[in-house]
Homo-oligomer: A and B are copies of this chain.
């Protein structure tokens, strides 16, 4: 990926910083967010302008705006924000954008994406309204549970072991995803998301009851892989529930005969 310019070059200080979202490189965050979101739309993750995605490149954060049809988004619709500048801001609730699109308003997801970037050093965060995620939170609600737990499914290997740990989860490991309750205003989820991050330091995702899921990763590749793997597991979990199959089982490891 061609590194996008960080901060404001002298010759651009008077303009609207549109250069921050202009690149011929398909891997540039301003191009990648629209192409990713178009793909997510076909998966049913960002229906009806719901959901979104954000990419961090060093100090710069690229954000899909509010209310945009995700399969039609353009690079010129993207917001850009500096983490350093934001940290110096007097209010957590007020955000200063280096670059704003001419039409759309900022997404209410912004502080949640920022939490993944600042608290977990994530490089990408994806928010979906996948109905598999929503159904899992509803099934857990009936059980009075605030954790999604599943083990002994191969796809669990799609997740990293945790924050600043190397390697991935194993087949026999239990994947645990915390569930937080939804709030009337999406921004208000931030403190609960951060609480969940503190309580579950190794999680790469937080489910939001009756709403969807936030998934992050060290980079776009890892965030997308973890989000796909999680959606796969949510779908499987709902289908297992319909068939009366438990999500957690106690399986004795199969030991191969080491031949060489």
Contact = CB atoms under 8 A, between A and B. Distances in A.
Interface of A: 44, 47-50, 67, 69, 91-93, 129, 131, 134-135, 138-139, 142, 152-155, 157-158, 170-172, 181-184, 186, 188-192, 208, 210-212, 221, 224-226, 228-229, 231-232, 235-236, 238-243, 245, 251, 253-257, 259-260
Given A154-B211, A211-B154, A243 B138 contact: yes
A232 B129 contact: yes
Q: How many copies does the complex hold?
A: 4
A44 B235 CA distance: 11
A134 B153 contact: yes
B154 A260 contact: no
A171 B226 CA distance: 27
A69 B138 CA distance: 30
A137 to B, nearest CB: 10
Contacts of A184: 170-172, 253-254
A82 to B, nearest CB: 19
Contact of A226 (B48, B182, B236): B48
Contacts of A131: 232, 235-236, 239
A56 to B, nearest CB: 19
A138 B69 CA distance: 30
A225 B48 contact: yes
A63 B190 CA distance: 43
A181 B256 CA distance: 11
